[in-house]
Structure 1
Amino acid sequence: RADGSIRDGESILEQLASFIEGEVTEEDVFKLIGFLGNDFYFTLLNKILTGDLSKVIVMLNKGIEDGADPVEIYRGFTNYLRAAFLIRTGVPCEFVELNSEEIEVLKNIELSRDETIHLLEICLRFEDIVKRSVNVRIAIELLFSQLILCLTKSKKRENNNRVVLSSSPNENVNIKEALFLDLQKNSPKLAGIIHKADITKNNDNVTISVKNEFAKTQLVNNQKEVKSLLKKILNADFILNIEIVHQKEEESNLIQTIKVLFDGEEVR
């Protein structure tokens, strides 16, 4: 809260010394400066994931009534989401501003990397609204309503894909369509490759057949993302194969015409 100012830091320490008897704890510091610990944000994120908006709003207001600054709640939760994003991208733990126990807890939350990105995007879009709002409490409540709405739509879309997949007799077509739709959000190039590819499922094997080396290389380099999406679609473990299917090049109309004119003789 001192933002690098020695004078402000000293002022905070003097207030702590004046109002608190005995040992000063982390909780005492947080209460004085309006900060909330990571336990608060962990519980808040869990309530968001369950989609219970009323409990989220109650928790936000209780935090504010206990002395937390609404803007600090916004900052703290956004930073917590950033930590979740870094963990899901495989960034080394030293770049995540959490202890090892908190990192392990955050790893176990059922939140995908794509969902984390979408939540962070919403938080950043609300930054000016939260900071400039005359009634910041309403702004915070609206922000968290949007976060729940985003996750609800994501899970509904995922469930619809699974329903389509299981209800249609042409399973291979639906796997391809579901994968194409998921890739369109974040990887348009891969979506284009899948659109032109053939996908077949045989027991535990899923084979993606493409027509050239470039398409195969792109899929191989991004197979972790492709496998992750396919696992959500199939809801089962599988072995992914990526192969090139060589097709005989069709002769152009011009060459065919020339061959007819020369009675099929080879033209040099």
Structure 2
Amino acid sequence: MNDPIHNKELRQKLIPLDTNSLKEDLNKSIELGRKKRKQLTLDNPEFNIKQEIEDEKQNIKVQTLIRRGIADGLKMQELLKLKVSAKDNNNPVHSLFRWCMLILYKENPEIYNWSEFKKKVLEKENGQDLRNRLGYQSVIHITQLEGEKTKYLLNLKKPILEQNSKPEELQWVLLKIFDIVEIIYKTHEHAKRINQLVDDLLMQESKIKQYQEDIDKVNQEIQVAKTSLKSLESKSLNDDEIVQE
């Protein structure tokens, strides 16, 4: 007949008195290791830089969706109401169309001609091709010079809208096109920032390597503690089985 009191005394004799204390120390060691690993990960330039890159990519995605939504609502035929003659070079709206040639059509803006642009771009299918390019063409790879020209065009927004304010439908379309131009410039800035971050990632390669080595070392320490803890728990279980017998 088993004597519970006797079994308890026997188990205490079989299990070292410091086993529970050792388990507690190992659990603390594992927890501290995890905290250290988390901090090293957060401090690691690679983590922070990659997080920034993801943030910039997300910004581009959001801006792209907004840009598409604006473009889908454009009635490009309203641009045909522009009161511009072939010889009227003073209207700043020509700068907008030159920009379209450069950024959206990858054509030399120096060969811009209002009559040709009106005929081939605005009148053809009511400007649907231009609308699609404004909304859907990828602009993340525009050059630094193209980015500067986009910024310059934004400075012409006020005079362009003022000189082409009638009819209101025309001005509204121009206003929305400038909303798209601004988004394209922001996208360019986000893309430029991503390139800078990638360069930073390469420049800090040695520092990142050191952080990774430290993280690997902590991982090894955690694994050793886990193995020791598992061994202790297994031994305790075996001792319990011996006592039960």
Query: Comparing both chains, which one has the higher relative contact order based on Cα–Cα distances under 8 Å and sequence gaps of 6 or more?
Result: 2
Shorter-chain TM-score: what band? under 0.3
Provide the TM-score with structure 2 as the length reference: 0.27
Provide the TM-score with structure 1 as the length reference: 0.25
Higher strand share: 1
Give the greater-gyration-radius structure (CA). 2
